[in-house]
Chains A and B, each alone.
Chain A
Amino acid sequence: MMVVFHLLAQAAPSPSPLATPPTGPDAPIPTPVLVFQPVIPELILCGVAIVGMLYEAFARQSARTVHLVFALAGLAGAGIAAIGLWNWTGDPTVLGDAIAADRFTVVATVVLVIAAAFGVIHYTHETARGRLAFRGEFYPLVLFATAGMVLIAAANDLIVVFIALEILSLSLYVLTGLGGRRSNEAAMKYFLLGAFSSAFFLYGVAMAYGATGTTKIPAIVSALGGQTGSQALALLALGLLVIGFGFKIAAAPFHMWTPDVYQGAPTPVVAFMSAATKVAAFFALMRVLDVALQPLTTTWTPVIYALSIVSVVLGAVLAAAQRDVKRMLAYSSVAHAGFILAGLTSPNMIGIRAAMFYLIAYSVMTVGAFGVTMLVGVKTEEPSSYDSYDGLSERSPGLAALLTIFLLSLAGIPPTVGFIAKLTVFGAAIRAGNWPLVIVCVLASVIAAYAYLRVVVRMYFRAPHVAVDDDRSVVPQVAGLVLALAVIVLGVFPRLLSSVIESASILKW
């Protein structure tokens, strides 16, 4: 397949899309050279998703295992294809500058694909146990969402960012509604607020076009760099784009949807989206802020600074006040968005690398934590209420130990990866001279630690409820164990991850 695309690329007439495009109002839009290799992961994901959809539509009784095998094969294929792009030597941007083929994207793709694989496995388990009604659409939707997420990380054109944003959002709205009544309600809320934020984002793209006359990131950089005089349009664009991203990364004050969606949506979906949405949106945010709006650095760093403070404080304080594990994790995800933003106040590769490290660490912890909540207190009315966690260590010591590891990592206690992640983002922020921000962040992480410890207290120091039971099946516990090991191993040998991230630089202009 790759060979075919390559041949197509060779056969194409024009040597480079950057070579002097014809100008003037009547000039035809040049046909870009089609080099598909860098988007093979997206193509595989969409292709398999379509196959899955057709299977769901035409099979009389769709089988869970068939869907699972399709989805996992598609995800694995996309992951392998992405890794194959690690040493990409072709043009840095392809498809008419719309897609960036850099290692930054490869890292995002691999993380997203793994998160999606865990979501798919968890969902299959949940439906097999009859706790969720089986819907075959789940699998294609996850693949489409993943495709959108991969694309948003790779996008080198604001329009492509928007398209990718819509692909992933629309899939996630539906996925959120796949549970019961509460889930429908959450989906509706997510959709309404999400649509609103998309509008903001699109408006921001329009403003950026107004300011620079282009939506392509390289062209935006050069246009903004050479600009003198009023930058009103560009600043407007910046504000609107940040609002749009703020919603997706769940940064306060754009986090209102998070607790309801996390609580209402089916847990496997939450496990997937809590990690993947954040990763995708942050990777896109980094490309837009650190690359496209790089000439406006001094303007956007204070904005990120403020967002970071509001997010860590609100997220941590509200997380400490919760009585439901999923809601608590939702608010904690707001706080974590704030920690990552703190790293991004360092507008250079140090900040980007710190944020990448944090995002990967966060994905591991949050997927693991939600994976455990899926198994606790099954058959109760409110399985994620703190009451279900009373005495979990006596009922199911394995689950309690796993969740403790994830929670301690989220709290940033060594020797977990969460600690190293916090260390790197705080280090980045301090190097940029933002030590007041770091003090706020560190104090907020103490408050957040209280929130996590409340659950640990319930698990270890309370007597168990007789009526509550847990699911102690092997597959999800092994999945949790793999993630817990990753948390510890990466916490002790962070080099395994940081060496990869160090060589994964973002494409700059």
Chain B
Amino acid sequence: MSGHLLSVLIFFPLLGVLAIVVGGREMSDATARWLALFVTLVTFGLSIAVLGRFDHSAPGFQLVEQASWVPSIGLQWIVGVDGISLWLVLLTTFLFPVSVLASWTVTTDVRRYMIAMLALETAVLGTFLALDLIVFFIFFEALLVPMYLLIGGWGGERRVYAALKFFLYTMAGSAFLLVAILFLYAHTGASTFDLRALADASATLPVQTARWLFLGFFIAFAVKVPVFPLHTWLPDAHTEAPTAGSVLLAGVLLKVGAYGMIRFTLTLFPEAAKHFATAIEVLAVIGIIYGAVCALGQRDVKRLVAYSSVSHLGFVVLGLFALTEQSVTGGVLQMVNHGLATGALFLLVGMVYERTHTRQLDKMGGLASQMPWLLGFFLFAVFASAGLPGLSSFVGEFLVIVGTFAVSHLFGALASVAVVLGAIYLLWSYQRVAYGPIHEEHRTLPDVSLREVIVIAPVLALLLVFGVYPKLLTTSIDPATKQVVEQVSPDHATTVIPATQVTAQAGSGG
């Protein structure tokens, strides 16, 4: 087992699926819940084991496993982890038990729900760990199915529409990815889908070809992130998904897109990435501001958080394509932080919704007096999401903005403005939920239960820990991002201060 830790990690949740399937109709709902919780916790434990074996100072892939799968076309099972994927894997394995626990209130078709959750975990872990392009693509496509079932089966009123929109948007995007992968495979003549081999081979591609292929990869990931103007599936999917679905969608699935950008588009097509960087930065900045402005206009609190994701993911993309060491590290940090902060927001919105049965801001109000603890947690999550210094999002956003300033003052300034907008919509929405006159029918609502505290407390605690001591993450992220940046734009990597130093200052400053 020790030699196959990553494979075991990826497929362990499938054991849970198998157990539930074999259990059949005799298995009670409670058993299915506990089983799913147990499986996701063990998976988390396995990922901690990965963390333990990980050498934080080394760049490049570690714990690599390689085996031939379909030799006729050179398809291999290759998995490996580096400083970037490590934290995304941990984020994933952390958010899954939280989501399972948050789904305790799901009462219809519990077994099938848990099957979808566990299958989703396998697919997501696979995308983060795969180093063979086709293996990545397989997981990338496969994660659509359980997510589609989660949204469509347990979502809100317009769930079927939202689920189908989500599926088709992403599948249309990944169509380009598949063509680009096959084209790359055919043209480099490497007869392998191994990312490391293809990264070397792609250097020989003609410039124009590489740029087209870059676009093929980029569109697929841009849909997933989503980058403006390909974001229109997101508000629907987030709003209609069940609570855990929203948490995982925002916390983990969007990261798959951003991860794909850094892992594949930047690594495979450095020249094209530089060529298109400015255009993508423009889109990212538009997304940041557009998402914030849309969030300001929302009445549905879930939709508001969804648009805030568009804005926050804009920061990630901006960071990745500003192509400085700090900005890329900041982007990766922001991926983790956004997963935690927005995950927490969706969890809390779900808890409020379970009590008030409304998501409309103007039908809420004054809840802080009735549920002080719940709204206290909510406020914490709002601060974290708005990037209050001392909480984790601040470090990520700060690094992105600092890194972007080195490239373009305009984009850096615009992004900073958006941070203010973010504070406005988040605090404003909190104000409308928490303060003001309380509705009569909300006077009897209970405060948080013990289960809910167990769900939310670890997430908030991590937000604080990563905010105060971001070095925990950056020490392992830095070597990996440095490698990427050096490859894409060597001039940026050397001239500026190391990101670790900046984060240390930012952390102590907050």
Decide whether A and B assemble into one complex: yes
Indicate which residue in B70, B153, B171 contacts A446 across the interface (CB closer than 8 Å): B171
Report if B144 contacts A (CB, 8 A).
Answer: yes
Within 8 A of B (CB), among A343-401: 353
Contact with A along B167-200 (1 / 0, CB 8 A): 1100110011011001101100000000000000
A443 near B175 (CB under 8 angstroms)? yes
A460 near B178 (CB under 8 angstroms)? no
A495 near B142 (CB under 8 angstroms)? no
**B373 contact set on A, CB distance < 8 A:** none
**B70 contact set on A, CB distance < 8 A:** 420, 494-495, 498
Indicate which residue in B69, B72, B179 contacts A430 across the interface (CB closer than 8 Å): B179
**A218 contact set on B, CB distance < 8 A:** none
A449 near B179 (CB under 8 angstroms)? no
- Count of chain A residues with Cβ under 8 Å from any Cβ of B? 31
A414 near B142 (CB under 8 angstroms)? yes
Report if A453 contacts B (CB, 8 A).
Answer: yes
B168 near A449 (CB under 8 angstroms)? yes
**B176 contact set on A, CB distance < 8 A:** 439, 442
Contact with B along A412-456 (1 / 0, CB 8 A): 011100011001101100110001001100110110011001000
Report if A461 contacts B (CB, 8 A).
Answer: yes
**A442 contact set on B, CB distance < 8 A:** 175-176, 178-179
B73 near A413 (CB under 8 angstroms)? no
Report if B227 contacts A (CB, 8 A).
Answer: no
Report if B159 contacts A (CB, 8 A).
Answer: yes
A498 to B164 alpha-carbon distance, docked (Å): 33
Within 8 A of B (CB), among A453-478: 453, 457, 460-461
Indicate which residue in B149, B160, B171, B185 contacts A427 across the interface (CB closer than 8 Å): B185
A319 to chain B, nearest CB (A): 14
**B163 contact set on A, CB distance < 8 A:** 457, 461
Contact with B along A488-501 (1 / 0, CB 8 A): 00000011001100
**A430 contact set on B, CB distance < 8 A:** 179, 182-183, 185-186
When C-beta atoms are compared, the residue in chain B nearest to A427 turns out to be B182
Report if B509 contacts A (CB, 8 A).
Answer: no
When C-beta atoms are compared, the residue in chain A nearest to B73 turns out to be A427
**B171 contact set on A, CB distance < 8 A:** 446, 449
A456 to chain B, nearest CB (A): 8
When C-beta atoms are compared, the residue in chain B nearest to A354 turns out to be B73
**B71 contact set on A, CB distance < 8 A:** 495
Within 8 A of A (CB), among B438-492: none
A231 to B139 alpha-carbon distance, docked (Å): 50
Within 8 A of A (CB), among B135-162: 137-139, 141-142, 144-145, 148-149, 152-153, 159-160
A445 near B134 (CB under 8 angstroms)? no
B185 near A461 (CB under 8 angstroms)? no
A435 to B181 alpha-carbon distance, docked (Å): 11
Indicate which residue in B144, B152, B182 contacts A426 across the interface (CB closer than 8 Å): B182
A144 to B135 alpha-carbon distance, docked (Å): 43
Indicate which residue in B73, B138, B149 contacts A460 across the interface (CB closer than 8 Å): B149
**B183 contact set on A, CB distance < 8 A:** 430, 435
Report if A113 contacts B (CB, 8 A).
Answer: no
Q: What is the interface of chain A mostly: helix, strand, loop, or mixed?
A: helix
A314 to chain B, nearest CB (A): 18
Q: Contacts A430-B186, A442-B175, A494-B70; is A457 near B152 (CB within 8 Å)?
A: yes
A460 to B142 alpha-carbon distance, docked (Å): 18
- Count of chain B residues with Cβ under 8 Å from any Cβ of A? 33
A453 to B137 alpha-carbon distance, docked (Å): 20
A61 to B43 alpha-carbon distance, docked (Å): 63
Report if A241 contacts B (CB, 8 A).
Answer: no
A427 to B134 alpha-carbon distance, docked (Å): 12
A336 to chain B, nearest CB (A): 17
B179 near A498 (CB under 8 angstroms)? no
Indicate which residue in B138, B164, B172, B175 contacts A415 across the interface (CB closer than 8 Å): B138
Report if A166 contacts B (CB, 8 A).
Answer: no
**A450 contact set on B, CB distance < 8 A:** 164, 168
When C-beta atoms are compared, the residue in chain B nearest to A424 turns out to be B73
B172 near A446 (CB under 8 angstroms)? yes
Contact with A along B261-288 (1 / 0, CB 8 A): 0000000000000000000000000000
B69 near A495 (CB under 8 angstroms)? yes
When C-beta atoms are compared, the residue in chain B nearest to A460 turns out to be B153
Report if A328 contacts B (CB, 8 A).
Answer: no
Report if A408 contacts B (CB, 8 A).
Answer: yes
A414 near B141 (CB under 8 angstroms)? yes
A353 to B168 alpha-carbon distance, docked (Å): 30
A109 to chain B, nearest CB (A): 22
Indicate which residue in A438, A461, A499 contacts B159 across the interface (CB closer than 8 Å): A461
Report if A502 contacts B (CB, 8 A).
Answer: yes
A414 to B134 alpha-carbon distance, docked (Å): 10
B59 to chain A, nearest CB (A): 30
A443 to B175 alpha-carbon distance, docked (Å): 6
**B172 contact set on A, CB distance < 8 A:** 443, 446
A413 near B145 (CB under 8 angstroms)? yes
**A426 contact set on B, CB distance < 8 A:** 178-179, 182
A439 near B179 (CB under 8 angstroms)? yes
Contact with B along A479-509 (1 / 0, CB 8 A): 0000000000000001100110010000000
A461 to B157 alpha-carbon distance, docked (Å): 11
**B168 contact set on A, CB distance < 8 A:** 446, 449-450, 453
**A420 contact set on B, CB distance < 8 A:** 70
Indicate which residue in A408, A461, A498 contacts B152 across the interface (CB closer than 8 Å): A461
Q: Contacts A408-B145, A445-B175; is A423 near B164 (CB within 8 Å)?
A: no
B62 to chain A, nearest CB (A): 26
Q: Contacts A449-B168, A453-B167, A495-B70; is A427 near B152 (CB within 8 Å)?
A: no
A463 to chain B, nearest CB (A): 12
A439 to B177 alpha-carbon distance, docked (Å): 10
**B139 contact set on A, CB distance < 8 A:** 414
A353 to B71 alpha-carbon distance, docked (Å): 14
A460 to B185 alpha-carbon distance, docked (Å): 38
B14 to chain A, nearest CB (A): 10
When C-beta atoms are compared, the residue in chain B nearest to A502 turns out to be B72
A426 to B179 alpha-carbon distance, docked (Å): 8
**A495 contact set on B, CB distance < 8 A:** 69-71
A55 to chain B, nearest CB (A): 43
A495 to chain B, nearest CB (A): 6
A77 to B195 alpha-carbon distance, docked (Å): 48
A185 to B302 alpha-carbon distance, docked (Å): 55
A408 to B119 alpha-carbon distance, docked (Å): 15
B179 near A435 (CB under 8 angstroms)? yes
B309 to chain A, nearest CB (A): 24
A446 to B173 alpha-carbon distance, docked (Å): 10
A413 to B145 alpha-carbon distance, docked (Å): 8
A414 near B138 (CB under 8 angstroms)? yes
B178 near A413 (CB under 8 angstroms)? no
A145 to chain B, nearest CB (A): 32
**A431 contact set on B, CB distance < 8 A:** 186
Indicate which residue in B164, B175, B182 contacts A453 across the interface (CB closer than 8 Å): B164
A33 to B130 alpha-carbon distance, docked (Å): 57
A438 to B145 alpha-carbon distance, docked (Å): 23
B145 to chain A, nearest CB (A): 6
B179 near A423 (CB under 8 angstroms)? no
A401 to B168 alpha-carbon distance, docked (Å): 21
Contact with A along B207-220 (1 / 0, CB 8 A): 00000000000000
Q: A450-B168, A461-B159 are in contact. List 17 more A-B contacts (CB 8 A).
A: A414-B138, A423-B134, A424-B73, A426-B182, A430-B185, A438-B179, A442-B178, A443-B175, A446-B168, A449-B167, A449-B171, A457-B160, A457-B163, A460-B149, A460-B152, A494-B70, A495-B70
Which residues on B are within 8 Å of A, measured CB to CB? 69-73, 134, 137-139, 141-142, 144-145, 148-149, 152-153, 159-160, 163-164, 167-168, 171-172, 175-176, 178-179, 182-183, 185-186
A selection of 9 A-B contacts at a CB cut-off of 8 Å is A408-B145, A415-B138, A424-B73, A426-B182, A427-B185, A430-B186, A439-B179, A442-B176, A446-B175
**Those 5 A-B pairs whose CB atoms lie nearest each other, nearest first:** A442-B175, A414-B138, A430-B182, A430-B186, A431-B186
